[in-house]
A and B are shown apart, each in its own frame.
Chain A
Amino acid sequence: MGNEAMTRAAIEAGIGYSSTYPGTPASEIGDTLSALAKDIPNFYFEYSINEASAIEGAAGASWIGIRSLCTMKHVGLNVASDPLHTISQSGTSKTGGLVIICAPDPGAYSSQSEQDDRWYAYHVNMPILEPANVPEAYEFLLKAFELSESYDVPVLLYPSSRVCHSVGKIQLGEIKPAPAKGVFKPAVSRFVNASIVSIANKKNLLGKIKKLRKKTDQLAVNRVLEGTATTGIITSGTAFGYTVEALDLLGVYDIPILKLGLIYPLNQEEVQSFVKTHNLERLIVVEELLGFLENEIKEVLYDGGIQVELHGKDTFPAADELNVDIVREGLAEILKIELGESYKAIMKKSTKAKSMAPPREPTFCPGCPHRATFYAMRKATNREGVFGGDIGCNTLGLRSPFALVDWVVCMGAGLGIAQGISHKSDQPIFAFIGDGTFFHAGMTNTLNAIYNNANMTLIIMENHWVGMTGHQPTPSTGISSIGDPVIPVQIKDVVKAFGAKWIRTVDPYRTRQLIDTIKDSMGQPGFKVIIADEECSVQIDRRFRKSLREKEGRISRTYYYIDPERCQKCKECLQKLACPAILLKEENGEEVISIEEPRCTHCGVCLEICPNSGVVETKINVHLESG
């Protein structure tokens, strides 16, 4: 996987420090480093509570001469951007390069937006390398450290989700061990970014970028695929692969292509000479998301007094992910080539088939405690009120039948916006937040809401893992960043210390109790906290299956089934709880509701909520001898 290839490169580069806040599509880098941390010499790894903490820690290590890697998803850079704007002014160190991997998510498959982080280059004045595939991701990471150290700047590696989650073969190199320790040497003129120092550092930084702009060829990350046509293409990253395959499918092989690896800063001379030496009359820029390269290229061409016909975002979409077919259609339009009847027939048939398929939105897994919490919320409020949603698995509460997420903005904004509304509305106000997000961005908003006496209820859905992103630990898991046992943080104590007076902890599997607790909260003044505390069912199920396989431990498990005699077919479990493990079948012309045992995780919520005692439980104790 691309993420593993970059991890390997980082280890070979001799990183001594790495920090991350997990986020798809970058999460497997941190996960791999976490798993390997004890085997990498002189290495420190942390899951930071947010990206700002992560980048600050990584900068600290870099400043004392330790190579540092900080990884995050694209929107994570927003959180890290405050410190990063100033860290870039202070620079890195001669032996302690600072590389940030920031992975974009074109198509927003797993994000609240498909934000284009390349524009941060202008703010932060930070070089950006964009790999097109797995071998390049590996190679560019090694180059990023060299670049960071030789130009004394943090460097951003920008692998798209399709590179992070792709596979490829790499040639392994030798692992260079990191130095055990570094020493901080005070340098006011470098690190104390106040007033005069800040301006001097900014001038210095601009000078570094200007110098790099002239020498990008020395990095050997840009290259040209030769061709004799008078139309040329400039592209980078995954768009390069789409372009080459689209041209192949269109039967065009003579278009010269400049493939950029360093997408900021551009080398003016390199771009100008690509146009001039190929006598180009027309230039096409193919890139994911907004027209960042197009913008840069226009600037370079203007400065060089070069006039060519230029196409980019006038033809290719600036929103949603590209693919070979979108690029093929765009290129066909510009080059005036027919797409062919068979292509059109495929597109027509597949569009028709797609319209036949009922929509399938993601929903909670079977046994998910969040499902029980949203069910309880729906019952307790009858959907009357305002419901602030947040980032993470709990976002899925927006789906039918719950429809209890009124907005999703960014980490912590469910609560932040809700507390604003609470000061100016008499509606019942609720906000949801997971424990990962609570530590990331929710604590400050909680304190703010308590200090300002917001009249609302915060539901902290504590499942003890960063679920959506792949089950990384949070401070309340009881596991350190590298897998050692630690004392878990009690969220109850945190909110109590902030001054919350009304705090209740309920297991959402005790769904009826949770319904009552939510109702109770609505009659109370001020800021109320309900901690819906139950571990992620995927993790519970994994441990159960592991115990079964390894035949160790004593397991007691309760099995549930629906008694067809007692079931009144009210469909509460099927349609209101909407558990994916409960199925409606037809047997002998009659509707039968049943639990699909292989999908059931034995949470028991269906039994808890069944109004007719139709669900029956059987407790089975499995005693497994060790060995």
Chain B
Amino acid sequence: MIVGVGGQGSITMGELLKQVVMENPNIVVTGTETRGAAQREGTVNSTIRYAVNEPGEEFDERRSVHSVLIPAGEADIYIALEPVEALRSLNAVSEKTSIILNSYVIRPMSCVVDGVAYPELENIVNMLKDCSPDVITINGNEMSREAFGDFQKMNIILIGAALATGKMPITYEEMEKTIRDNIKYDIEDNVKALKMGYDAYLQAKAAD
């Protein structure tokens, strides 16, 4: 599950993570993205649900994935593109969930204009850890700015991090190929961003 702020790229991420298994006959994929009005700087999310069927295994409709929305606690990976957005959809998270927090803050208008306090990052992380012990924080925006001069590769950096959890039913090579086939420009930078995110996750995990 991906949560974030409209304009951050949650739709693009969701689409890539669905596209990557389209050719795989053993994986059924479903999921959805917030579109329309909520997109404009509001709270958005994308869901991606893979149902892996081993070849020869009989399909059991009663025990399969149908809903595009994730039932309580069922997310394997929870990517939050913005810290307070991480707090909003934790009903998808349980102890089995790997949480990846992008620590770049986008203060909502309620904070900027109306003076509502933005919670301390430390408190947010503690809250996340209360839901699942497996929390890794990286700043994909700053990594992207430093390496490429813009924020556009933050999404790919976080996809790289998600791959590094080892929980996705896809290989690094498959993801890289999907990026090459589907992203229209800055391809090499995006491929580099994937690796950056992958390494950053492993590094943060080792330091944890």
Residues of A within 8 A of B (CB): 24-25, 109-111, 132-134, 161-162, 165-169, 225, 238, 240-242, 244-249, 253, 323-325, 328, 342-343, 346-347, 349-354, 356-365, 393, 395-396, 399-401, 468-470, 549, 574-575, 578, 580, 583-584, 598-599
Contact = CB atoms under 8 A, between A and B. Distances in A.
Given A347-B91, A575-B113, 20 more contacts: A161-B32, A165-B33, A166-B31, A168-B29, A169-B29, A225-B62, A248-B63, A323-B71, A324-B71, A325-B91, A349-B90, A349-B131, A350-B90, A358-B116, A360-B42, A362-B38, A364-B41, A395-B37, A399-B109, A400-B114
Contacts of B28: 168-169
Q: 3 smallest A-B Cβ distances: which pairs? A: A110-B36, A241-B66, A24-B36
A245 B65 contact: yes
A267 to B, nearest CB: 22
Interface of B is mostly: loop
Contacts of B136: none
A245 B66 contact: yes
Interface in B31-67: 31-43, 61-67
Interface string B125-151: 001101100000000000001000111
A109 B113 contact: no
Contacts of B88: 353-354, 357
Nearest to B62: A253
Counting chain B CB atoms within 10 Å of each CB, the highest count among A343, A574, A580 belongs to: A580
A361 B71 contact: no
Given A162-B69, A323-B67, A362-B6, A575 B85 contact: no
A323 B35 CA distance: 18
Contacts of B163: none
Nearest to A325: B72
A354 B91 CA distance: 9
A317 to B, nearest CB: 15
B206 interface: no
Contact of B71 (A132, A325, A574): A325
A349 B114 CA distance: 27
A346 B72 contact: yes
Counting chain A CB atoms within 10 Å of each CB, the highest count among B66, B70, B127, B130 belongs to: B66
A393 B40 contact: yes
A343 B110 contact: no
Interface residues of B, number: 68
A109 B30 CA distance: 20
A356 B87 contact: yes
Given A110-B36, A162-B32, A598-B150, A575 B112 contact: yes
A62 to B, nearest CB: 29
Counting chain A CB atoms within 10 Å of each CB, the highest count among B5, B123, B131 belongs to: B131
Contacts of B108: 358-361
A222 to B, nearest CB: 15
Contact of B32 (A165, A240, A328, A396): A165
Contacts of A400: 109-110, 113-114
A124 to B, nearest CB: 26
B35 A396 contact: no
A356 B119 contact: yes
Contacts of A249: 71
Contacts of B89: 350
B207 interface: no
Interface string B95-127: 000000000001111111110111100011001
Given A165-B32, A346-B72, A350-B90, A468 B37 contact: yes
A244 B128 CA distance: 30
A393 B22 CA distance: 34
